[in-house]
Homo-oligomer: A and B are copies of this chain.
Amino acid sequence: MDDCLFCKIVAKEIPARVVREDETVLAFEDIRPQAPVHILIIPKEHFASLDDAGEDKEAILGRLLLAAAAVAREKGLARTGYRVVINTGPDSGQEVFHTHVHLLGGRKMRWPPG
Contacts and interface: CB of A to CB of B under 8 A. Distances in A.
Given A34-B111, A87-B109, A63 B69 contact: no
Contacts of A65: 50, 53, 61-62, 65, 86
Interface residues of A, number: 49
A22 interface: no
Nearest to A86: B84
| Most B Cβ at <10 Å: residue of A35, A61, A107, A113 | A113
A112 interface: yes
Given A65-B53, A72-B51, A113-B113, A88 B81 contact: yes
Contact of A81 (B34, B58, B91, B105): B91
Contact of A89 (B53, B81, B92): B81
